[in-house]
Structure 1
Amino acid sequence: MNRMRTIVFAILFYGVSVPIVLLAPVVALFGQRAFRRWVLLWTQYHALCARWIAGIRVRVEGAPLANPALYAVKHQSFFETFELVRMLAGPAVVMRQEYARIPIWGWAARRYGVIVIDRSGAAAALRQMMREAKAAGAEGRSIVLFPEGTRSALGEAPPLRSGLAGLYRAIGLPVVPVALDTARVWPKVGPMRPGTVTLQFGEPIPPGLKRAEIEARVHAAINALN
């Protein structure tokens, strides 16, 4: 049953996603605001598919800040990437460079205003990422970062990558750690299954802390439900 549920979700969500992405250049002609509304419509469609096809319910603990912040998020599934864009009303998401190279999709992501991170760690690439993050903050947009760098299974707590400390120091925004347990319903390997997942917004961490302290506090907080 779970495998069939996963297949139906894939057909309906990805089937509609293809024309949404292909129409992105047309929507972009109407300006940045219209384009971001288009993206938010896509995330709302994802939420509907997740709820009514996959049977995934969401319990939220805590709340996002009213002002821009850097959201450091645990990453366990595809689900939270869409859900947080929807909940935070169009934040700038830090995205791996490989995704930005996908035809049409990469262009659309950049048009939306993602922040591309080059994992090679070249100094010029890191400086570009910092500039884009500062620009997003200046626009009044929050920033979403998955500081562990990749999806993990329940119980896994990989070390944080260096991008968190660099962004934290550069943009001067509070950090909101977000713990979650989405792998319970959408594991890294295997079919989706119905259930309730928790998104837990932790207490904001003020700017200005030393690297060791900010990394330790974020790592503990995002793994609170793990």
Structure 2
Amino acid sequence: MILIRSLLFHSAFYLTTAVLAIAGLPVLFMGRHKVQAYAKFWTGSLVWFLEKICKTKIIWSGLENLPQGACIIAAKHQSALETLSLTTKGTDFSYILKRELTAIPVFGWYLKGAGQVAIDRAKRGQALPDLTRQVREALAQGRQMIIFPEGTRKRVGAPPEYKSGVAHLYADTGAVCVPVALNTGLFWPRRSLSIHPGAVSISFLKPIEPGLDKQSFMQLLESRIEAETAKMIGSALAADPSLKRVLAAPDIAVS
């Protein structure tokens, strides 16, 4: 049943994405805020499908910790689920992504139209200064920068590997940073088609105010996220021991 529901969701995902991508082309000429609103409608629709088809419901907590204006949102990254769902909260979001994605026909047009921050990794040494400039401009517009400090999705239980880029942006921009803990990887594991039913936890934690040095910031960010994530995983496994099979499943890429 889990596999059937998962396949139905993925079918709805791609069909909805294709239909909205074509139907929304006129929105691209209406300005960034309209494109942002359309993107939130898309992600909100997918989260709704996830709950209705897969019986996978997101339980949010700590929303009071999310400022209305500019901030850095630094989230644990275990699944595609948080990539979609984080956009449904807050006001004006922006992701940091590789520039190659903006070259994808239609999809890339929406990324550009929504004003997402794209970096050219081929520049290497120049990439960080360029990224910092773009993030500063986005924060000056009151936007909320969503960053995954580990850079890529991590398997549940894998040792954390936080990169220094988030500390550089925190120190250079002087922005408040809101850590995000979650247990999404138990329900929609990376590299897996199967999506498991249950109550997914995503929590905005106590903000880290500007002013810390980079090392202290990194230590505090990682300790807060990892401690709360471990609690969430433990609570989910206690509530539904069958989720332990996700931890035992091989981490194999889906072709």
Q: Do they fold alike, i.e. is TM over 0.5?
A: yes
- Counting only pairs closer than 5 Å after superposition, residues 157-172 of structure 1 correspond to structure 2 as 157-172=159-174
Alpha-carbon deviation of 1:92?
A: 0.9
Equivalenced residues, count: 226
Tell me if 1:188 matches 2:190. yes
Amino acid at match of 1:225: T
Question: CA 1:119 to 1:73, structure 2 compared with 1: closer, same or farther past 3 Å?
Answer: farther
Look up the match of 1:49. Answer: 49
Q: 2:210 aligns with which of 203, 207, 210?
A: 207
Look up the match of 1:80. Answer: 82
Greater fraction helix: 2
Question: CA 1:151 to 1:49, structure 2 compared with 1: closer, same or farther past 3 Å?
Answer: same
- Counting only pairs closer than 5 Å after superposition, residues 71-220 of structure 1 correspond to structure 2 as 71-119=73-121, 122-190=124-192, 191-220=194-223
Aligned-partner Cα distance in 2 for 1:117–1:222: 26
Aligned-partner Cα distance in 1 for 2:150–2:98: 12
SS at match of 1:109: helix
Structure 2 portions without partners, runs of 5+ = 231-255
Aligned-partner Cα distance in 2 for 1:74–1:160: 10
Aligned-partner Cα distance in 2 for 1:180–1:120: 32
After superposing on structure 2, the runs of 4+ consecutive aligned residues of structure 1 that deviate more than 4 Å are 118-121
Look up the match of 2:34. Answer: 34
For the pair shown, the structure with the greater C-alpha radius of gyration is 2
Alpha-carbon deviation of 1:110?
A: 2.1
Alpha-carbon deviation of 1:23?
A: 4.1
Amino acid at match of 2:176: P
Q: TM-score, normalised by structure 1?
A: 0.93
Percent identity among equivalent residues? Answer: 30
SS at match of 2:95: strand
| 2:68 and 2:91 in contact (8 A); partners too | no
Alpha-carbon deviation of 1:65?
A: 2.0
Look up the match of 1:225. Answer: 229
| 2:97 and 2:117 in contact (8 A); partners too | yes
Out of 212-221 and 177-186, give the one that drifted further: 212-221
Alpha-carbon deviation of 1:94?
A: 1.4
SS at match of 2:92: coil
Amino acid at match of 1:91: F
Aligned-partner Cα distance in 1 for 2:163–2:11: 34
